Amino acid sequence: MDSIRDKRGYICDMDGVIYHGNRLLDGAKEFVQWLLENDKLFLFLTNSSERSPRELREKLARMGLDVTEDHFYTSALATASFLASQKPNGSAYVIGEAGLVKALYDAGFSMNDVNPDYVVVGETRNYNYNHMEKAVQLVSKGALLIGTNPDLTGPTESGIAPACRALIAPIEMATFRQAYFVGKPNPIMMRQAQKRLGCAASETVIIGDRMDTDIIAGIESEIETVLVLSGVSNKNTPNLFPYRPDHILNGVGDIPS
């Protein structure tokens, strides 16, 4: 535990680590207070593309946590940055929420449902057959298929819900094209996060609830890893994977305590 507390920088997932839906998880408030009181560098790194950093800040504020916008980095921001580097001032047909659309606008992209450069898919509760049909048509005509993250499911207050990879799968199957996913564990998002954090890998720890995104992202980036059991994983989950986290904790509240 001392090796975790001695780190200078903390990359922390949000869904299943800090909150479920609109419910703050046990120990999360104490963990954030500990980060602030000890002048730790930290970044909330989420594969969810639904909300902007401002909306995430406001969400935590409603739960009683005061965290500034610069502490948030999302797969929507990572996707927008990546696409802007690939095709500056490009266009996209977007299936997703406001956080993804805003990130693409801010990166210089325009919305286009006729002949876009990309079809970009993120989490959304407004997904329907018309969106799917339109995306299939555009990808078949040459648009490139991008997913904000490779998560199949995400935790909610009542269990799990389909996430980006589950939503994009019908488009892949109908077009015989494979999407490119920008979010964790893609090294692109991890490198962007480390640059924002300003810490070397040896000074950093990544905390998450998913073996297939958070933990493998840390291993491949040579960052110490902490799996918490407050989200989609339980104590048996690591046995299903050919790699292990450095630490397994019940929740982030175990770190300051």
One-letter identity of residue 53 = P
Give domain status of residue 67, yes or no.
no
Whether 11 and 34 share a structural domain: yes
Residue found by looking up tokens 């946590």 in the block: 65
Instruction: Spot the catalytic one: 13, 212, 214, 254.
Output: 13
- Are the C-beta atoms of residues 141 and 156 closer than 8 Å to each other? no
Residue 1's pLDDT is 65
Whether 6 is a known active-site residue: answer: no
Query: Residue 246 above 90 pLDDT?
Result: yes
Residue 22's pLDDT is 87
CA atoms within 13 A on the CB side of 105: 8
Whether 160 and 199 share a structural domain: no
Whether 15 is a known active-site residue: answer: yes
Query: For the chain, what is the mean pLDDT?
Result: 95
Give domain status of residue 22, yes or no.
yes
Give domain status of residue 52, yes or no.
no
Q: What is the pLDDT of residues 87-135, one digit of tens each?
A: 999 999 999 999 999 999 999 999 999 999 999 999 999 999 999 999 9
Work out the pLDDT band at 158, boundaries 50, 70, 90.
confident
For the segment 175-200, the average pLDDT, to the nearest whole number, is 93
Q: What is the pLDDT of residues 190-239, one digit of tens each?
A: 889 999 999 999 999 999 999 999 999 999 999 999 999 998 899 999 99
C-alpha to C-alpha distance for 250 and 27, rounded to whole angstroms: 10
Whether 138 and 196 share a structural domain: no
Q: Which of 159, 181, 203 is the last residue of a domain?
A: 181
C-alpha to C-alpha distance for 224 and 245, rounded to whole angstroms: 8
CATH at 22: 3.40.50.1000
Instruction: Spot the catalytic one: 2, 6, 15, 254.
Output: 15
Residue 160's pLDDT is 78
Comparing CA positions, the residue from 114, 117, 83 lying closest to residue 100 is 83
C-alpha to C-alpha distance for 235 and 216, rounded to whole angstroms: 17
Q: What is the pLDDT of residues 47-71, one digit of tens each?
A: 999 999 999 999 999 999 999 999 9
Structural domain range at position 211: 2-47+185-254
Give domain status of residue 119, yes or no.
yes
Whether 173 and 89 share a structural domain: yes
How many folded domains does the chain comprise?
2
Whether 93 and 169 share a structural domain: yes
Query: Residue 42 above 70 pLDDT?
Result: yes
Q: Which of 131, 149, 181 is the last residue of a domain?
A: 181
CA atoms within 13 A on the CB side of 167: 31
Work out the pLDDT band at 186, boundaries 50, 70, 90.
very high
Whether 162 and 206 share a structural domain: no
Per the structure block, which two tokens stand in for 146?
A: 């991008």
